[in-house]
Amino acid sequence: MIDDIHSTRPWSYEFESIAKRACNLFFAEFVRAAARGIARPYRALVRGCFRMISEYLMWRGMRALRKLDDQLLADVGVSRGGIEHVVRNGRHGRSLRTTGFYPRPKPHLPAQTGNPAAKIAG
């Protein structure tokens, strides 16, 4: 019977273990929140840097295309006035199709013969 009492740990040990885990969780959450708070202002700065780099690369692409002569641009399928649009959106970008520069393909419908109402009723 005495062995049973001494073999179990006292409840203070369990309480201390739970307190340590709670303290570790609290500290970990505190560190995460602090990191988020520190990183938040820099996020906008990083986005701005990426935008500047992207704009610079587009500017370089436009500059390279503007150096080409009209015949070479025509061979590629780009007009001199469309260089910026091609660099920003691609040659066959989605915005060209939605703005109406390219005609939309009409769906192929089979020719109907006879009266369609007669087919439904019959």
Q: What does the pLDDT look like over 1-25, one tens digit per residue?
A: 455 555 565 567 777 888 888 888 8
CB 91 within 8 A of CB 77: yes
pTM score, whole prediction: 0.46
Neighbours of 16 (CB within 10 A): 12
How far is it, in rounded angstroms, from Cα 113 to Cα 108?
16
How far is it, in rounded angstroms, from Cα 32 to Cα 57?
35
Query: pLDDT tens across 81-110, in order?
Result: 889 988 888 877 555 445 555 555 566 666
Coil, helix or strand for 72? helix
Q: What are the boundaries of each domain within the chain?
A: 9-58, 68-102
